[in-house]
């Protein structure tokens, strides 16, 4: 039955996906459609997939268009702007995935700048850090409904620049890293950050995370690292929920500011892997004191809080498919079709943990097939 559900899920998009895949190569190889990412993103139709060969490329802006950019390593370097990569104005039915991009700006710390978007934005294997630029890089998010980060790093190396600055945005992070230089790792103004196995590192600052409203969720495997034995880890005003398995490093005896409402919960965590075309995708839910778990997947949607839960569900209504129910840790897989139309399809997994103390949703895990 689960296999049939996945066939139905993929079949629902296969006929309408424009199987348009374009190659971008900075050297202009014989099979390249474009030598510039900036030209490609403005030229190709919405819904296209851009395969990007390794190289150095100028900055670009994706404006109100669904696109998937897949690179093994592409350095986006720009001498004219501090934000070499911009995504703006996505409608609720639009989505963008960026994979394998690094940024560099000769003007100082460069940034992935995401703004004013109701649609899904996925960054996987993206980085703005000392490996891509001596100035490092930032993620700037403003008024974005749902941003999903996987295996990405943002390490600002310019004094006063945080690794992540977010305003009125909902962000999930899995295996990500944020740090600032004489600045908090994260400056959060309202919105929500839900992090699993993610590091927040503050250097030479009063607090690793500075909040101005909103909610920060630190699930198992996450690290909050302060500047020294007398430093705060989270300060300002807002709500912090942390799993007991979160590591507090260089924390003072009172690591959280008086304006931070702290709640300690054992929360379920979910990891997922896209697999290769013709292979298998998989997900696992564990932790949270759960005795029984439920694993479901579907297409990403705007987060909403179901009745009886405190955390949001990130699956688009009507696309949900339960893949497994059983004792935790609980895993599930599905076969990925070996077909070009699968490229760029975005999938979200999310789970439910049932324990003696209640029922709790896991974090979501979103990826795009490549």
pLDDT in tens, 241-274: 999 999 998 888 889 999 999 999 899 999 999 9
- Looking at residue 19, what is its pLDDT? 52
| Residue whose structure tokens are 């699993």 | 196
Q: What is the mean pLDDT of the chain?
A: 90
User: Residue 191 pLDDT more than 60?
Assistant: yes
Each residue of 62-93: b (16+ CB within 10 Å) or e?
Answer: beebbbbbbbeebbbbbeebbbbbbbbbbeee
Q: Which CATH class is domain 18-264?
A: mainly beta
Q: φ and ψ at 161, to 5 degrees?
A: -105, 120
Residue 91 pLDDT class (50, 70, 90 cuts): very high
What pLDDT score does 15 carry? 45
- Is the pLDDT reported for residue 214 higher than 50? yes
Query: In this structure, what are the phi and psi dihedrals at residue 106, rounded to the nearest 5 degrees?
Result: -75, -10
The separation between CA 302 and the C-alpha centre of its own chain, rounded to angstroms, equals 14
Q: Where are the domains of the chain?
A: 18-264, 268-368
pLDDT confidence of residue 64: 97
Q: Tell me what pLDDT residue 79 has.
A: 66
SS (H, E, C) 135-203: CEEEEEEEEEEEEEEECCEEEECCCCECCEEEECCEEEEECCEEECECECCEEEECCEEEEECCEEECE
The angle subtended at Cα 251 by Cα 183 and Cα 142, nearest 5°, is 35
Is residue 178 pLDDT above 60, yes or no? yes
Q: According to the model, what pLDDT value does residue 109 have? A: 81
Helix (H, G, I), strand (E, B) or coil at 355: strand
DSSP string over 93-132? T-EEEEEEEEEEETTBSEEEEEEEEEEEEEEES-EESTTT
Judge contact between 282 and 259, C-beta under 8 A: no
Task: Tell me the pLDDT tens digit for each residue of 111-141.
Answer: 899 999 999 999 999 999 877 777 888 999 9
9 has a pLDDT exceeding 90: no
Percentage of the chain modeled with pLDDT above 90? 71
Average pLDDT on 332-344 reads 92
End-to-end CA distance of the chain: 25
CATH topology of domain 268-368: Immunoglobulin-like (2.60.40)
* Segment 24-64, tens digit of pLDDT: 999 998 999 999 999 999 999 999 999 999 999 999 999 99
Could you tell me the pTM of the whole model?
A: 0.94
Does 283 have pLDDT greater than 60?
A: yes
Alpha-carbon distance of 167 to 188, in angstroms, equals 6
| pLDDT (0 to 100) of residue 229 | 56
**Between 348 and 108, whose confidence is greater?**
348
CA 105 to chain centre: 22
Closest to 349 (Cα-Cα) out of 291, 290, 274, 280: 274
């Amino acid at each position: 039955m689960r296999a049939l559900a996945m066939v139905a899920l993929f079949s629902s998009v296969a006929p309408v996906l424009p199987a348009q895949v374009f190659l971008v190569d900075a050297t202009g190889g014989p099979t390249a459609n474009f030598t510039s990412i900036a030209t490609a993103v403005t030229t190709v139709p919405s819904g296209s997939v851009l395969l990007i060969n390794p190289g150095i490329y100028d900055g670009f802006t994706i404006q109100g268009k669904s696109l998937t950019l897949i690179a093994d390593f592409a350095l986006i370097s720009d001498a004219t702007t501090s934000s070499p990569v911009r995504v703006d104005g996505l409608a609720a039915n639009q989505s963008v995935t960026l994979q394998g991009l690094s940024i560099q700006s000769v003007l100082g710390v460069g940034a992935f700048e995401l703004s004013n978007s109701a649609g899904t934005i996925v960054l996987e294997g993206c980085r703005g850090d000392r490996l891509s630029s001596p100035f490092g890089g930032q993620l700037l998010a403003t008024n974005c409904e749902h941003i999903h980060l996987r295996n990405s790093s943002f390490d600002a190396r310019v004094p006063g620049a945080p690794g992540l600055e977010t305003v009125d945005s909902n962000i999930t992070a899995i295996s990500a890293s944020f740090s600032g230089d004489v600045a908090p790792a994260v400056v959060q103004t309202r919105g929500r950050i839900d992090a699993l196995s993610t590091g927040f590192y503050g250097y030479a600052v009063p607090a690793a995370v500075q909040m101005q409203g909103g909610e920060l969720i630190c699930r198992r495997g996450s690290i909050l690292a302060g500047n020294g034995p007398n430093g705060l880890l989270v300060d300002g005003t807002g709500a912090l929920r942390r799993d007991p398995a979160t590591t507090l490093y260089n924390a003072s005896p009172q690591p959280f500011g008086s304006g931070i409402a702290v709640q300690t919960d054992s929360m379920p965590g979910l990891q997922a892997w896209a697999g290769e075309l013709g292979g298998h995708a998989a997900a696992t839910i564990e932790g949270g004191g759960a005795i029984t778990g439920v694993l479901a997947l579907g297409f990403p949607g705007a987060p909403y809080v179901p009745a009886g839960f405190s955390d949001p569900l990130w699956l688009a209504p009507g696309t949900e498919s339960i893949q497994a129910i059983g004792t935790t840790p609980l895993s599930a897989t599905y076969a990925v079709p070996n077909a070009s139309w699968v490229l760029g399809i975005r999938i979200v997994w999310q789970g439910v943990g049932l324990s003696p103390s209640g029922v709790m949703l896991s974090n979501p895990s979103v990826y795009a097939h490549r």
